[in-house]
Amino acid sequence: MERITMAHGAGGTIMQDLIERVIVKNLGGSEAEVPLEALDDSAVIDDIVLKSDSHTVKPLFFPGGDIGRLAVAGTVNDIAVMGAKPLALTSGCIIEEGFPISDFEKIVKSMAETCREAGVHIITGDTKVMEKGTLEKFVVNTSGIGKRTELLDRNIAVVKRYRPFKARWLLDSNLREGDKIIVSGTIGDHGVALLSFREGYDFGSEISSDITPLNNVISHLLNVGGIVKMKDPTRGGLANTLNEWSEKSKVGITIYEEKIPIRVGVKAACEMLGIDPLEIGNEGKIAIAVVPQKADDVLKALKKTKEGKDAEIIGEATNESRGVIIETEVGGRRILAPPVGDPVPRIC
Ligand code: MG
């Protein structure tokens, strides 16, 4: 009998296969403008952007954040990267019997603070308790809605100055040959912070999670204009994001290794553990695809923000056959395959 493994929740090709074979097959087929089967960051129905996200991070509190901050930022970011303004969230908490109420309140306070940063509220929710030993401490689902604003229309009008563009939202399928790819900052921080804290590794430098609600920075970038897609490279990391874009947009993607911002400590930790920083989840970074004529303007605007001060243009979409190619610092070329699963489990 086939059973669920940890890899089925790890954001790579094994999870993708399960989603398509069980979830999309049975639940797909709606008339939504961006339906379930698009498997984009959020869905769209009648100009309302809808997203649901469950959080099982272990441990619940870690350097740079906790499950409460993660739960709010994750959902806000998935709505914002579609080009929408996040409006309101829900939270569904499931708690193990015996869990300290003081820890529960700490999590809820963190949710409230992150909501204030993002300018949203949690306006409905649900709380359930399960018997001791039947659930590990605490899990939470946050869902949220967002709406279309004229900022998105203005951004799309700028894209249309340079090339035909039919999409009404920022979708994985929107990239075309020549589009530049930007990342908003150092990658791998969240996954490596979680892993080193959880396993007690000491890499000689404190690495903390980057969890941040990104909707305010995103509004700023939409105002500059020319963006065709954004994505928060969470589970499966940048490798997963770029491969999804390549496949759904039917373009090749080339990225330049030396341009990818990675903290020295993160790089060292990854080398020691034999994991690829490009496959590790981030919680406060945006990958951005933008028409080439606006790439420098978007980069400049990003660099002026605290969330985007380390931003770089890391590559571009090409007319080469589909897939992602990395050009290495010494001039070699290798394929960046979609990850099978995130190498670090339970980070979100
Ligand atoms: Mg996402």
Are the CB atoms for 44 and 146 separated by under 8 Å? no
Ligand 1 centroid to Cα of residue 75, in Å, is: 8
Interhelix angle 67-80/215-224, nearest 10 degrees = 20
State which fold the 6-147 domain adopts.
60s Ribosomal Protein L30; Chain: A; (3.30.1330)
Ligand 1 centroid to Cα of residue 348, in Å, is: 11
The pLDDT score that the predictor gives to residue 202 is 80
State which fold the 150-335 domain adopts.
Phosphoribosyl-aminoimidazole Synthetase; Chain A, domain 2 (3.90.650)
Ligand 1 centroid to Cα of residue 160, in Å, is: 25
The pLDDT score that the predictor gives to residue 113 is 98
Between the alpha carbon of residue 57 and those of residues 54, 61, 144, the distances in Å are 9, 9, 19
Ligand 1 centroid to Cα of residue 264, in Å, is: 26
The pLDDT score that the predictor gives to residue 201 is 85
Ligand 1 centroid to Cα of residue 17, in Å, is: 17
Ligand 1 centroid to Cα of residue 197, in Å, is: 24
The pLDDT score that the predictor gives to residue 268 is 92
pLDDT, one tens digit per residue, over 175-229 is 999 999 999 999 999 999 999 999 888 876 778 999 999 999 999 999 999 999 9
The pLDDT score that the predictor gives to residue 9 is 87
- Asked which of 14-18, 70-74, 215-219, 229-233 is least confident by mean pLDDT, the reply is 14-18
The pLDDT score that the predictor gives to residue 341 is 80
Ligand 1 centroid to Cα of residue 63, in Å, is: 22
The pLDDT score that the predictor gives to residue 138 is 98
In this prediction, residues 233-261 reach a mean pLDDT of: 96
Interhelix angle 101-118/215-224, nearest 10 degrees = 20
Are the CB atoms for 13 and 338 separated by under 8 Å? yes
In this prediction, residues 311-328 reach a mean pLDDT of: 95
Quick check: 124 pLDDT over 90? yes
Ligand 1 centroid to Cα of residue 183, in Å, is: 14
Ligand 1 centroid to Cα of residue 40, in Å, is: 8
Quick check: 287 pLDDT over 80? yes
Query: When comparing pLDDT for 235 and 292, which is higher?
Result: 292
Intrachain domains 6-147 and 150-335 with the same fold: no
CA dihedral 299, 301, 305, 310 (to 10 degrees): 10
Report the candidate in 272, 281, 277 with the shortest Cα–Cα distance to residue 201: 272
Ligand 1 centroid to Cα of residue 150, in Å, is: 22
Ligand 1 centroid to Cα of residue 87, in Å, is: 17
Distance CA 332, CA 188 (A): 23
- Count the alpha carbons within 13 Å of 173 in the hemisphere toward its beta carbon: 10
Quick check: 10 pLDDT over 90? no
Ligand 1 centroid to Cα of residue 132, in Å, is: 32
Share of the chain above pLDDT 90, in %: 89
Ligand 1 centroid to Cα of residue 77, in Å, is: 7
Report the candidate in 70, 309, 109 with the shortest Cα–Cα distance to residue 194: 70
Ligand 1 centroid to Cα of residue 91, in Å, is: 18
DSSP count for the chain of H helices, then E strands: 10, 14
Dihedrals phi, psi of 51, to nearest 5 degrees: -145, 145
Structural domain boundaries in the chain: 6-147, 150-335
Ligand 1 centroid to Cα of residue 230, in Å, is: 9
Share of the chain above pLDDT 70, in %: 100
pLDDT, one tens digit per residue, over 43-65 is 999 999 999 999 999 999 999 99
- Count the alpha carbons within 13 Å of 57 in the hemisphere toward its beta carbon: 32
Quick check: 345 pLDDT over 80? yes
